[in-house]
Amino acid sequence: MKQFHERLPQHRRLVLCLILISATTGAALNAQQAAAPQSDLVIRNATVMTASHGTIEHGAVWVHAGKIAGVGETVNAPASAVVVDAAGEWLTPGIIDPHSHSALDSDVNEATSPVTPSMHMIDAFDNRSADLYRALAGGVTTELLLHGSANMIGGQAVVIKNKFGLDRDGMLFPNAPGSIKFASGENPKRVYGSRDQLPSTRMGNFEVMRMAFEDAKHYMADWDAYNAKVAKGDKDAVAPKRDLKLEALADVLRGKLYVQIHCYRADEFLTEEAIAKEYGYKIRAFHHALEMYKVADKIAADQTAIATFSDWWGFKDEAWDAIPWNAVMSMRKGVRVALKSDSDDHIRRLNQEAGKMVHYGGATEDEAIRMVTLNPAWIIGVDDRTGSIDVGKDADLVLWNHDPLSTYARAQKVYIDGDLFFDSSLPGLGTTHFNGVMHDDGGFGGEDEAGEEDGQ
């Protein structure tokens, strides 16, 4: 542990000097005046991988009131700032997983109908799950917790900040945009086909979606007609019945929800894009997307991102053409690429999954680190708040003992909104806000694509 206490006086001189000679912003001065002594933090001497503007050797990051207030070779932090000397360590933005089913117990799939858009994952979110802790220890600060892939149109996701130890609401990402999970391919047709229900084929899969959107359009028209009557002062107008399922679908058509689609095959990306255009919504990201390398130029034009596995393959037929070069090949053709876990196992080492992209296709360090930070933040719709080390963003930061793209990196400290949530040098669990009893979701679960019966 490299606590700064013993070096504090020296650093104070440095900081004062900087304040005197540099053109300090008003924000910095205000921070100095307004902040309580403990609310400013400076991490210095680290190799700072910003994810947005390259790597700064011997860089410093200043955190004020939970936000990044400065980043560079030096920062204009107040003298009262707590300083962490991170010589020999690496600093990255918090790792972001855009596809997780952690902390949902076995409530991942409402696999009782192929269209369940009014399900909300927040209703299943268990904030004391051990999986959250293990992900935190792997540097994960934000997760998109998704419905499973049994349904063509599944439920609505919850975005969390991995502030393990806080209560449920304290772990929610404030004001994050809503996302909805769609699926396609083998899982829906297997789940419902095995019950002799629609869909049991890819024809059935897509038609189920179209029928659902036709229902939603009709529902929207009913409401539009009602609202028009009311606007005209018609006091006899009767409001249509509110239907949670159709309202959720209407939100898709109105562009109020980011559409996140579990999809493997090249032909299905094209069909999904065509249906989206037909009904007037945009697809935020294809998840898994193992065949994106085959049609990346077309999908790049639609500005749909992908959240893909680094190197999983062969677990099912639609994963047979998966290649580990998919991420980099797709990126080179203009697709925004994130790596994701879909696994309570791999979520603990997404940094290594990014490192593999240096191997498979020659991603630069910048490109690789973006795949687990800024790009997944974009998929979730929180890239203006987190995902890179830039002034004004949330101070979601991870200090590593080794290059985070290597096999050897261990997260030393994990900060979320400037608050320390994990410190590996502490005895016991290393948690700073949690000292209770964790829930074990049991077994080895959490995986979407381990070939389980109802596909998550």
Partner 1 sequence: MILSFSWFWTGLMALSSFAALAAQAPPPKVIAITGGKLLTVSHGTIDNGVLVMADGKIAAVGESGKVSVPPGAEIVDAKGMTVYPGLIDPESNFGLTEVSADQMSNDLIERSDEIMPHMHVYDAFHSETELIPVARLNGVTNAVVAPATDDTIAGQDIFIQLFGTDRDQMILGRDVALAMNYGAEQRRRGGRSGGGGGISREYPSTRMGLITQLRQTFLDVQDYVSKQEAAVKKGEKPKRDLKLEALIPYLKGERPVVIGVYEGYDVETIMGLAQEFRLKVILNHVTHSQEVLDKIAAWKVPVIVGSIYDFPRADQRFDAVYTLPAELAKRGVKIAISSADAGGPVSSHSARNLPYAAGCAVAYGLPYDDALKAITLNVAEMFGFGDKLGSLDVGKMANVVVANGDPLDVRTDVKQVYIQGVAVPMVSRQTRLRDEYSK
* Binding-site ranges for partner 1 (CB under 8 A): 130, 133-134, 137-138, 186, 293-294, 311-317, 319-325, 329, 343-346, 348-349, 352, 355-356, 358-359, 402, 405-410, 428-430, 437-440, 443-444, 447, 450-451
Min CB(450)–partner 1 separation in Å: 6
Min CB(336)–partner 1 separation in Å: 19
* Residue located via tokens 């130029």: 297
From the centroid of its chain, how far is CA 224?
A: 35
- Find the helix packing angle between 292-301 and 266-279, rounded to 10°: 20
Min CB(271)–partner 1 separation in Å: 19
1/4 Cα distance (integer angstroms): 9
For residue 271, give the amino acid letter.
Answer: T
Min CB(163)–partner 1 separation in Å: 16
- Cβ-based nearer residue to partner 1, 78 or 139: 139
The DSSP result for 290-354, as a single string, is TTHHHHHHHHHHTT-EEEE-SS---SSGGGTT--TTHHHHHHHTT--EEE--SSTTGGGGHHHHH
- Cβ-based nearer residue to partner 1, 278 or 440: 440
Residues 84 and 398 sit within 8 Å (Cβ to Cβ): no
Min CB(444)–partner 1 separation in Å: 3
- Cβ-based nearer residue to partner 1, 85 or 344: 344
- Cβ-based nearer residue to partner 1, 133 or 258: 133
404/95 Cα distance (integer angstroms): 11
Min CB(1)–partner 1 separation in Å: 16
Min CB(283)–partner 1 separation in Å: 22
178/117 Cα distance (integer angstroms): 12
95/63 Cα distance (integer angstroms): 18
Which CA distances in Å does 34 have to 24, 27, 40, 256, 380? 15, 10, 10, 38, 33
- Cβ-based nearer residue to partner 1, 166 or 450: 450
φ, ψ of residue 394 to 5 degrees: the values are -60, 140
- Cβ-based nearer residue to partner 1, 9 or 428: 428
- Cβ-based nearer residue to partner 1, 44 or 99: 99
